[in-house]
Structure 1
């Protein structure tokens, strides 16, 4: 599901002539904010439910360079969830649908006033459950569940 459209601004371009690595993280952070709005935790929803979303962990993989003025989209796939957590895969794509980067994230619903993990209210939980999900284990995205490390030495 597409959450966000953006265009790479000049300020995001580094000395290599393409989008700086930190700006990929910014694009995915903007994706989290768009996801929050979609599930009912925009500014009014956060205030009404005394609830926000924190990012607990992220695994960002760079697949292609993005350049100034390039149109990009952020999509989300819900991999798993419970009352408080959402395991998601964001994909940053170019106008042709090519993957530029992925960001696998563990998100946590947090009570704002108590700053503690808190279950999502029913309306928010229903919107989360309605997000696109892999149909089966065979449809699990290759970009999800990866670990970082060097290949075994022979």
Structure 2
């Protein structure tokens, strides 16, 4: 997956659980930190939020855990704008280990919010342009198999 955005970190000891690998909540913390960094990347860092009186809320997430991560191991999260409209971003994040293997994915729906009105609103123009540019980076690529998954027990 190509991306102009990347978030890198190492698994801290406090993220490791009694099974000896990164706890499920910590995968979500890592994705949340990466999402915050992505939001900064598209122009809604602290300065942008203040300038536009605009922010992003998370509406829904879905995490898939594919491989274990252990203490001290490096990982990278890349983001793909899977879809978007005037005020929403369907974002797909992929976490890779140092060997380039996919270890986890997170699919989420984000909503742009006017802070003065306290309600959804279209992205500021410069942010909208950045979102569109991020979408175009991966437009036309195959859909990752984790996109759009539902939870359920398949019966035969």
1:113-151 Cα shifts (integer Å, max 9, x gaps): 322101101100010011133315xx1111111111111
The partner residue of 2:11 within 8, 16, 22 is 8
1:7-59 Cα shifts (integer Å, max 9, x gaps): 00001001111000000000010111111111000000000011111110000
Would you say 1:62 and 2:62 are equivalent positions? no
Residue of structure 1 in register with 2:106 after alignment: 103
Q: What displacement does 1:112 show?
A: 1.8
Would you say 1:143 and 2:152 are equivalent positions? no
Q: Structure 1 stretches of 5 or more lacking a match?
A: none
Distance (whole Å) between structure 2 residues aligned to residue 141 and residue 92 of structure 1: 13
Q: Structure 2 stretches of 5 or more lacking a match?
A: none
State the number of aligned residues: 151
8 Å Cα contact 1:77/1:134 also seen in 2: no
Distance (whole Å) between structure 1 residues aligned to residue 75 and residue 119 of structure 2: 34
Distance (whole Å) between structure 2 residues aligned to residue 115 and residue 84 of structure 1: 14
Alignment of 1:98-137 (within 5 A): 98-131=101-134, 132-135=137-140
Q: What displacement does 1:76 show?
A: 0.6
**Partner SS state of residue 150, structure 1:** coil
Aligned-pair Cα RMSD in Å: 1.0
1:50-88 Cα shifts (integer Å, max 9, x gaps): 111111000000001000000000101111100100001
TM-score scaled by length of structure 2: 0.93
Distance (whole Å) between structure 1 residues aligned to residue 101 and residue 30 of structure 2: 16
